[in-house]
Structure 1
Amino acid sequence: MYALLKEHVDDVRKLMIYDYENGVYVFSYDTQEDKSGFADLWFETFDEAVNYCIEKYKVIQDQWVVINDPKEGQQHDIIH
């Protein structure tokens, strides 16, 4: 899932959470376009990742857009 930020924090304009079998990534983007992120953080659980986005970037539930997981071989930080 991803969220477009209304207020930019540390040049971040979009966040994406990617939940996979070995943990959860939060990708940070300096654009709202569909391009690779410039940074990522790893969390053990989905809830930890969501809470980080809420606390640091003030993301609210309505901002999240649920998307499909990437197919095998596709980048995890781009919407496919």
Structure 2
Amino acid sequence: MRKIALLAVPQPALKRLMLYEDEHGAYLFGYNTLEDAGCLWDEWFETAAAAEAEAQARYHLAPAAWQTITDPLPECQHDWISPVRVVGRSAGHPQWGKLEILTDGQWEPVRLTS
């Protein structure tokens, strides 16, 4: 399960959050952009409810602000909305720092900007 939420009052260093839950727990990801990108930070929680409670307490994020989005494809990054993966990861030879995005059925390099 994945959800995203925009902060009602964005901060310079934080504009949106994503919540991802799997069988190992829940991850809360923080972003300083509204564009789809990798997160700036993440925190682990035992449950999605605990992550949502922390987001509400720390960032005043109302429960109704969360919107459900699709889960990532296998071997894709959990913190990106689009299907993005580490180059070579599916073949067992990951090239850390190099990402590719699925566009029109083709994997293309992700051009990271600073």
Fold shared per TM-score above 0.5: yes
- How far apart, in 1, do the equivalents of 2:12 and 2:58 lie? 10
The aligned residue for residue 62 of structure 2 is 60
If asked which structure has higher relative contact order (CA below 8 Å, sep 6+), I would say 1
* Shift in Å, 1:6: 2.0
Helix, strand or coil for the counterpart of 1:55? Answer: helix
Tell me how many residue pairs correspond in the alignment.
Answer: 80
Structure 2 residue runs without a partner (length 5+): 83-114
Between the aligned residues of both structures, percent identity stands at 36
The aligned residue for residue 9 of structure 2 is 7
Aligned counterparts, 1:3-42, within 5 A: 3-9=5-11, 11-42=13-44
Runs of 4+ more than 2 Å apart: none
How big is each residue's C-alpha offset from its partner over 1:8-65, in whole Å with a ceiling of 9 and x where there is no partner? 3471100000001101000000111110100000001111100000000111122111
Kindly report the root-mean-square deviation, in angstroms, between the aligned alpha carbons of the 2 structures: 1.2
Instruction: Name the larger-Rg structure.
Output: 2
- How far apart, in 2, do the equivalents of 1:68 and 1:41 lie? 20
Helix, strand or coil for the counterpart of 2:69? Answer: coil
